[in-house]
Amino acid sequence: MQISAHTQSILPSYIFIPYGMFLAFVLCCANSVFGSGSAVSSDFFPKTVCAQLQRIVDSSADEVRPVQDVCRSILEDIEAVIFHFEHQIAESQPNWERFEQSIQTLENIQQDWTRIETEADPYIPSRIALEEIVWALQRRSYVWQALRDAESVESSPISTLYGKSFDDIDRLIERTLAAGQYFMRARRPLNNRSGQTWNDYLETHSWITELEASKSPAGESIRFVSLASPAIPVEVLQTLSNKANTTIFRLESLALTNEQRVFLNHPIVRTWKEELQTWTSDTETPLDILRYLEQYELTGGMSDMRAMSQFLDQLSKSKTPEFRSFSNHVRQQYDMPNVRVFLSNSLLNNHVPTAVSEIASFRDVVQSQPVVGRRQTDTELSFSFVPHPTRVLLSLDVGVDLATVSRSDAFATQLYNTGQTMVVARKLIELTENGFRTEPAQARIVDHRMRLIRVNTEFDDVPLISNLFRGVVRNQYESRFHEANTEARRKILRQVRSQIDRETEQKLRPVNEKIRTVAQYVEEHFDLRVEQRESRTDEHWLLTSWGIRSPGTLSGNTLAPETQPGSFADFKVHESLLNMLFGKLELEGKYGTVRDFKEMLADKFQLPALAKPAENDDVALVFASYNPVVVRFVDGKVEIRISIAALRLLGKTHRNFQAVVRYKPTYDSSGRLVLERDGHISLPTAPREQFILRATFGKIFPVSQHFTLVPKVLENDPQFDYLTTGHCRIENGWFALALVPKPEI
Each residue's pLDDT tens digit, 676-716: 999 888 887 666 677 788 888 888 888 888 889 998 888 88
Q: What size, in residues, is the chain?
A: 745
Q: What is the distance, to the nearest Å, from the Cα of residue 637 to the centroid of all Cα atoms in its chain?
A: 22
pLDDT at 623 over 80: yes
Domain ranges of the chain: 33-151, 162-333, 354-518, 558-741
**Binning pLDDT at 50, 70 and 90, where does residue 602 land?**
confident
Q: Any residues with CB less than 8 A from the CB of 26 and at least 6 apart, and which?
A: none
Rounded average pLDDT over 64-73: 91
Q: What is the pLDDT of residue 11?
A: 31
Instruction: Name the phi and psi angles at 399, rounded to 5.
Output: -115, 125
Cα–Cα distance measured from residue 391 to residue 283, given in angstroms and rounded to the nearest whole number:
41
Cα–Cα distance measured from residue 151 to residue 144, given in angstroms and rounded to the nearest whole number:
10
Report the range out of 383-392, 407-416, 593-602, 604-613 with the highest average pLDDT. Answer: 383-392
Q: What is the pLDDT of residue 19?
A: 33
Structure confidence by residue, pLDDT tens digits, 636-684: 899 999 999 999 887 888 899 999 999 999 998 888 999 999 988 888 7
Rounded average pLDDT over 20-24: 35
Number of helical (H) and strand (E) elements in the chain, helices listed first: 22, 19
pLDDT at 191 over 80: no
Q: Is the distance from CB of 725 to CB of 741 less than 8 angstroms?
A: no
Nearest alpha-carbon partner for 423 in 500, 350, 351: 500
* Per-position DSSP letters for 720-734, written without gaps between them: GTTEEEEEEEEETTE
Q: Is the distance from CB of 414 to CB of 456 less than 8 angstroms?
A: yes
Cα–Cα distance measured from residue 454 to residue 89, given in angstroms and rounded to the nearest whole number:
100
Q: What angle do CA 240, 243, 247 make, to 5 degrees?
A: 135
Q: What is the pLDDT of residue 501?
A: 94
Q: Which residues pair with 708 in a beta bridge?
A: 674
Cα–Cα distance measured from residue 527 to residue 525, given in angstroms and rounded to the nearest whole number:
6
More confident call, 465 vs 668: 668
Report the range out of 357-366, 432-441, 457-466 with the highest average pLDDT. Answer: 432-441
Cα–Cα distance measured from residue 335 to residue 318, given in angstroms and rounded to the nearest whole number:
20
Supply the mean pLDDT for the chain. Answer: 84
Q: Which residues pair with 444 in a beta bridge?
A: 424
Structure confidence by residue, pLDDT tens digits, 206-259: 999 999 988 875 544 444 444 444 578 888 898 899 899 999 988 988 888 898
Instruction: Name the phi and psi angles at 160, rounded to 5.
Output: -70, -15
CATH 3.90.1530, applies to 558-741: no
Cα–Cα distance measured from residue 244 to residue 645, given in angstroms and rounded to the nearest whole number:
39
Rounded average pLDDT over 455-465: 68
Q: Which residues pair with 153 in a beta bridge?
A: none
- Please give the model's pTM, rounded to 2 decimal places: 0.81
Residue type, 342: F
Q: Is the distance from CB of 52 to CB of 78 less than 8 angstroms?
A: no
Cα–Cα distance measured from residue 723 to residue 291, given in angstroms and rounded to the nearest whole number:
46
Q: What is the pLDDT of residue 729?
A: 94
pLDDT at 21 over 50: no
Residue type, 328: N
* Range list of H helices, 584-629: 594-604
* Per-position DSSP letters for 138-195, written without gaps between them: HHHHHHHHHHHHHHTS---BGGGGTT--HHHHHHHHHHHHHHHHHHHHHT--S-TTT-
Cβ neighbourhood burial of 404 (10 Å; 0-12, 13-18, 19+)? buried
Cα–Cα distance measured from residue 308 to residue 294, given in angstroms and rounded to the nearest whole number:
10
Rounded average pLDDT over 15-24: 34
**Binning pLDDT at 50, 70 and 90, where does residue 417 land?**
confident
Q: Is the distance from CB of 590 to CB of 623 less than 8 angstroms?
A: yes
pLDDT at 193 over 60: no
Residue type, 459: F
Q: Where are the beta strands (DSSP E) in 299-391?
A: 339-344, 355-366, 369-385
DSSP, collapsed to helix, strand or coil, labels residue 106 as helix
Q: Any residues with CB less than 8 A from the CB of 44 and at least 6 apart, and which?
A: 82, 85, 86, 287, 290, 291, 294
Structure confidence by residue, pLDDT tens digits, 291-342: 999 999 999 999 999 999 999 998 998 888 899 999 999 999 999 999 999 9
Largest CA-CA distance found in the chain, in angstroms, rounded: 145
Alpha-carbon distance values, 276 to 242, 279, 281, 317, 737 (Å): 11, 5, 10, 14, 53
Q: How many CB atoms lie within 10 A of CB 547?
A: 22
Q: What is the pLDDT of residue 486?
A: 86
Cα–Cα distance measured from residue 188 to residue 619, given in angstroms and rounded to the nearest whole number:
58
| Percentages (nearest 5) of helix, strand, coil residues in the chain | 45, 25, 30
Q: How far apart are the first and last CA of the chain?
A: 93
Q: What is the distance, to the nearest Å, from the Cα of residue 210 to the centroid of all Cα atoms in its chain?
A: 35
Cα–Cα distance measured from residue 645 to residue 655, given in angstroms and rounded to the nearest whole number:
5
Q: Is the distance from CB of 669 to CB of 685 less than 8 angstroms?
A: no
Cα–Cα distance measured from residue 522 to residue 652, given in angstroms and rounded to the nearest whole number:
39
Cβ neighbourhood burial of 440 (10 Å; 0-12, 13-18, 19+)? exposed
Provide the 8-state DSSP code for 411: T
Instruction: Name the phi and psi angles at 459, rounded to 5.
Output: -110, 20
